[in-house]
Structure 1
Amino acid sequence: MHQEQDSRKTALVFGGSRGIGAAAVQRLLADGYAVAFTYVSSPDKAQAIVNAAEQEGLQALAIQADSADPAAIRHAVTTTTERFGLLSVVVVNAGILRLGTIDTVELDVLDQMLNVNVRGVYLSIQATVPYLVDGARVITIGSNVAIRTGFAGSSVYQTTKSAVAGMVKGIALDLAPRRITVNNVQPGPIDTDMNSDHLDMLADLSPLKRVGTAQEVAGLISYLASDASRYMTGASLTIDGGGTL
């Protein structure tokens, strides 16, 4: 049994303790949502986000959950809804990056990336469906490598992010009768921990000669979560400073 979105807005961000996920949590808090988010191995960073939110009178909840674990995903969803109510926005940001050319990638690395970046994304969305209000927003975080890889050693990562771009189209059709939109954000190089050792090189590759910020990606997430985007679904939006032009 579903209900329409009401004045109380709840968001759940899978993978929200650092980088783009943390920026998304902070932006959604500023937009007036009660926000729950998952983390795997950064409890101090997660608690710092909660503490900062509570000092501002905002509602945040950190939940330890590995997106490769279906039971942990379900636990995160039920914990969120028990605390804050039904979900109006879901952001699936959890993902991992392991590089290696095809002759060096071990089976366990392949399986791990598929489990988190594809299976985990699908299961995260699936777990939230019974708890989404009609008219909710589902947002995945992909990558511009789905369009242009640009370097050797990223075949598995590209495979997973291309799968996400295709996945949102099918899920968007599944959820369209409830007016739930499903869209995919595809960032290029962003100034996060993942890229901290390569910022100068990545900036030089960009037509704008800089990398993006997590806050800029969060701004696009905020738009997709808003009423202004209600006619957009099944789309992949690239935010990469022209890197795929």
Structure 2
Amino acid sequence: MTQRVALVTGGSRGIGAAIAQSLARDGFDIAISYAGNKTRADEVVAAIEALGRKAIAIQANAATIEGNRAVIAETVNAFGRIDALVCNAGRYPHGAIDTMTAEEIDLTLALNLRAVMVETAEALHHMGKGGRLIYVGSAFGERSPFPGISVYSATKAALPGFARGVARDVAKRGITVNVVQPGPIDTEMNPAKGEGAAMLSGFVASGQYGEVHDIAAAVCYLASPQAGYVNGTTLTVDGGLCA
């Protein structure tokens, strides 16, 4: 078990699936986690195996501490190690803060922030020199260009602070920690031709949505040996939304 191993949470579709397959092309064996759609997860596994890499899909409830621990444990049980942890799973609630229930706020914090913290803590027990921790944040953590995203923005804004702190904890072990901040990306959940897309792309300097491969390429760079001196920082891939 000497092959590099990457775990991509929320890897059954969209940005997560693109990241998983791109890392496989770069030579990683892959574990992905998914919430409920086994068919989509199995399709990603099959695509990775067609590239000549090993892959597994793990169903996990990322809103629970037990689910966060389980996805790390099952990855290690299957592959013996974790070289790159890509925390991509999360949720995007929309609504003014005075319309959000306490339960919805708690769920968003659990999925978007606590899960990253717990998975990081667990993965570090199985990660050695050259390890990579990569968190998928959002340009909305840096800029909230329209109403209704305060809770989401807060969770994504917390990730760079967490990454900087973890970088101080683990840098001497040869492990790096960074955040990729996507802007509007054309996915099934946020299509470039969907409702509100014209408004959202209007906030972007380029006036365009990005593609999933734009984010996958950024993650693959941070997971590579070439990024060994990039640590505790954010890589914003947003077409100029934050410009």
- Rounded to whole Å, the distance in 2 between the matches of 1:45 and 1:133 is 31
> Which residue of the partner structure matches residue 219 of structure 1?
217
TM-score (ref. length: structure 1): 0.94
Kept after mapping to 2: 8 A contact 1:143/1:161: yes
CA RMSD of aligned residues (A): 1.3
Deviation at 1:235, TM superposition (A): 0.2
Deviation at 1:8, TM superposition (A): 1.6
- % identity of equivalent residues: 40
- Rounded to whole Å, the distance in 2 between the matches of 1:52 and 1:176 is 34
Deviation at 1:71, TM superposition (A): 1.4
User: 1:1-245 maps to which residues of 2 (within 5 A)?
Assistant: 8-196=3-191, 197=194, 198-245=196-243
C-alpha distance after superposition, 1:190-224 (max 9, x if no partner): 01122122333323332212100111100000000
- Rounded to whole Å, the distance in 2 between the matches of 1:37 and 1:156 is 26
- Rounded to whole Å, the distance in 2 between the matches of 1:212 and 1:78 is 34
TM-score (ref. length: structure 2): 0.95
Aligned residues: 240
- Rounded to whole Å, the distance in 1 between the matches of 2:187 and 2:44 is 16
Question: Structure 2, unaligned stretches of length 5 or more?
Answer: none
- Rounded to whole Å, the distance in 2 between the matches of 1:195 and 1:14 is 19
- Rounded to whole Å, the distance in 2 between the matches of 1:201 and 1:193 is 18
Deviation at 1:69, TM superposition (A): 1.5
